Structure 1
Amino acid sequence: MMIADDSFLLSILNDSPQATAIYNSGELHIAYANQGMLDIWCADQSIIGKTLCECFPNFVEEGFSSILKNVWKTGITFRTTAEPANIVVGSRKTKRYFDFEYKAILDQDRKCFAILHTASDVTESKLAHIRMKRQTDELSLSYKLDRLASTLSHDLKNPLSVLKLGNDFLSKNEDLCPSMAKQWYKNFTNSIQNIEAIINQTLQLNKVRGAKNSSEIIAMDKKISEWINEVKLSFSEQQIEYRLGHLYPLNADSSAVYQIFANLIGNAVKYSTGTGAYLSIHSEEIEQGIVYVFEDNGIGIPEDDLTKILLLQIRGSNSSHIAGTGIGLSLVKDLMEFMDGNINISSALGIGTVVRLFFPQSVEDC
């Protein structure tokens, strides 16, 4: 992509009040950066032609290079608001907050050939929001009760459906071999434990602000396999390939993590596109904690819906033909915030969806 030869485009970008950069390779070579972006990075024109990873090792540690490389691979644009980032000048590190977008520029074959990076420093407004939030009372009692009822009715469906399926199966197969019966009883035990965990976690979420969540080390490689098997029982008619990468353990509230992952795995299966459908799950270590990434090639979410999809009972406008309440993603957002984490969703119609979950913790804890 020959940006330097296009003087007209270059002059527009140079005069733009928004910080802008362009990467023109999967290795994240910096093809262009205007003065606004250089100011944010505390850098100069000498970085042009070099890779982002080479120039800013801290962006690798914080996971931004990983996000960019995933945009290049998938062609799915990534957007976020008030994202914290450490700006390093010499030995001094300053935490700032940014609204930014990594926009995938696609060719006629829908392959990414450049990434347009735009950013705005929103540190002052974010700090003001934090101060305001600290002074705001908890949600009203009526809203909390409504949310409690909605959450319970939504998240109890999966484990209850396993119990119902198993009960029906056992009642119709009285001469079942002992090993098969034992497996179903094990499924019953897991479902009952999950029901108990959901009730306890949901009640805990509705306590006053400041209630401390309990943390434990969770062996995610083992647990994710169990949760996938549970979802398979609930969506036995759906065919989807599960691609599991490195799964770091988490130091977190186990019942909250179960609800988060069960919802996201269930959504990927529910909104899959049939033949060739897959769900990829992997995790990454970054400076502040651990990130889990869910990537699927399902129906995707319309761009206009991305900003509101995490609100209570809001669903994608292209999902009306699929049963659902819209509670799941909103609950995931609440649970992540309960653990001082966050969620980001990127999606494109007909391509798929990428969900990133950030769990703050000391890596040594795991």
Structure 2
Amino acid sequence: MKTDWLPGHAVQMLENGEDYFPRVFEAVSQARREVLIETFILFDDKVGRELREVLIAAAQRGVVVHLTVDGFGSPDLTGEFADGMVAAGVHLHLFDNARRFMGVRFNVLRRMHRKLVTVDGKLAFCGGINYSADHVADFGPESKQDYAMEIRGPLVADIRNFLVAEMRRYGARGISTLRAQRGTPQVMPGRYGHARAMFVTRDNRRGSTDIEREYRRAILGAKSEVVIANAYFFPGYRLVSALRRAAKRGVNVILVLQGQPDVPMAMYCARLLYGTLISAGVTVYEYCERPLHGKVAVIDGQWSTVGSSNLDPLSLSLNLEANVMVHDRAFAADLRGRLQRLIDNHCRSLTKEDVARPSRWRTLLGVASYHAMRRFPALCRLIPSRKPRIETLCAPMSVGADGGSS
């Protein structure tokens, strides 16, 4: 699913939890009518507890609050943590909260991986940042490098209505009072800002390739530069081909990928593509200060995207994702400058020598791994699955006890 390009937005870049959490918590604290949140991960730690406090305070002053978390990504919520929100009037929804079988969770596929917020239908946030302490620097060397954005303008109504429709689609309770919000027709230029923006999602029924298609369209139309920073990079042939073709026609193509991974297999898979990319003229950097968790791109100094979608088989073929695309030179320049600081200070450049021809055994292993990963989504679709459901917590109850990763 995707919206049309809409004009008249004010957009602001937010980097890491230090930027993101204060803005979200402040917006919730000032909400007068409604707060809607989707997140893959909500942990019972200092960040999760602060979110819990501002949501409880909002609900207690009469704000309608709906919080949807993924049942796989957020299984460590204690009964007390969840029950306190429910008792205060927060509508807490668990997406596909499958029960364990002999202590093992099998609901690892088709996750709700989006990170979205709307407040009073006037302000929205979109990005890759979860509500967990590993998104702030004082967590230590494993804290994540990540990005999100704040949006004001007509697109907010589309994001808000999408969240309501998704709750209704998956059977959430307590949403009868949520009505579709009309967008702002013929927004006067400059009322909020001058950026054009588009909201793009993917799921497993409709719009399953929309995010990837928008990436390819922008890359194929690039004239001078493509810069992509992505945590889990293992796209399909068409996107890799688009990057190679852009580099061969003289576009400066730069990839910023993980060099200190939180999921080592993800970095190994990405490295299988380095040879073919570098040989075509693509510049590949690995970010080595801490785990890279961002999912952003800037093209030709005017097109940008920020969202939850990695460029790997899970995000492009299985998970439920959301990105916002922006046409705005000021926003693009801000994001491009942030990425350049990462490149200058914390990245190492990969050369042809770094990806020299491997041994025969490693070549065979790489080929096998590549084709296994490429066919992984198709194989997963053969596994019988029920339609995911949202479970709404309406009475004190406990949620699981172990963690997830994104």
TM-score with structure 2 setting the length: 0.27
The structure having more radius of gyration, on CA atoms, is 1
Which structure's residues are more often helix, by fraction? 1
Identify which of structures 1 and 2 has the higher relative contact order when contacts are C-alpha pairs closer than 8 Å and 6+ apart: 2
TM-score with structure 1 setting the length: 0.29
